[in-house]
Homo-oligomer: A and B are copies of this chain.
Amino acid sequence: MQIAILLYDRFTALDAVGPYELLGRLPGAETVFVAEKTGPVRNDQGSLTLIAERSLAEVTAPDIVVVPGGTSTRQVLKNKTVLEWLRTVDATSTWTTSVCVGSLVLAGAGLLKGRRATSHWLALDDLAGFGVEPTGERVVFDGKYVTSAGVSSGLDMALHLLGRIAGDPTAQSVQLLTEYDPQPPYDAGSPDKAPADLVADWRGEAEWVLHGAS
């Protein structure tokens, strides 16, 4: 089973590495980081560089596709090579997935039309603009399309997928080995739970949060 994780300039590191760390432990899986061309790819914070070891042209039939979010989705949505690759690999994938605003990229490729999907909480309206039914749920399955909420949600998505693909004991083993027993010191991880003033502040900064400084 091949798992392809798409990289592009200004991707969000945890969006990619969270699912990678868990899904990569699937027995027999081959995980590949793939980008338009091979080589270094810089993240949105500008201080992390991952290597894309395969070009899009080299990865033609992954079983699982993972599209992370980032602060360059507007640019990615204009990149015909990436969108065409997504449509091509989606034709034969078993699972087509996204983390955070990666769902906007899937939607822009026309893959989520009429489906239920999720995204970063600040991007749910944008998702609706693509003819997708947005939901604030953390992980959404609609057929073979699996979308997850902001940044850290890829961990939960990966566990769901591991369970579906390999069964509960394998997924639970991965959870145990990665000691995913979350104990955040605050309960502020969603707009329903965070202090209202913070939620309001960030709604006012949505453009910057989703699309960065440039």
A binding-site residues for B, Cβ under 8 Å:
12-14, 17-18, 20-21, 24-25, 30-33, 40, 45, 47-51, 53, 100, 120-121, 138-139, 149-153, 155-156, 159-160, 163, 168-169, 171-173, 175-191, 193-195, 198-199, 201-202, 209
- Residue in B closest to A52 when the chains form the complex, CB atoms: B49
Task: Name the residue on B nearest A171 (C-beta).
Answer: B186
| A181 proximity list for chain B (CB < 8 A) | 138, 149, 152-153, 187, 189-190, 193
- In the assembled complex, the Cα of A155 lies from the Cα of B120 at a distance in Å of 18
> CB within 8 A of A175: which of B121, B176, B194, B201?
B194
Which residues of the partner chain B approach A20 to less than 8 Å between Cβ atoms?
13-14, 48
Contact A177 B202 (CB under 8 A): yes
**A183: shortest Cβ distance to chain B, in Å?**
5
Say whether A160 contacts B185, CB under 8 Å: yes
User: What are 20 A-B pairs with beta-carbon distances under 8 A?
Assistant: A17-B17, A18-B18, A24-B45, A31-B45, A149-B181, A151-B179, A152-B182, A156-B182, A156-B185, A169-B198, A171-B186, A172-B186, A172-B188, A175-B194, A176-B191, A176-B198, A179-B190, A180-B182, A180-B184, A180-B189
Interface centre among A17, A45, A191, A193 (most CB of B within 10 A): A17
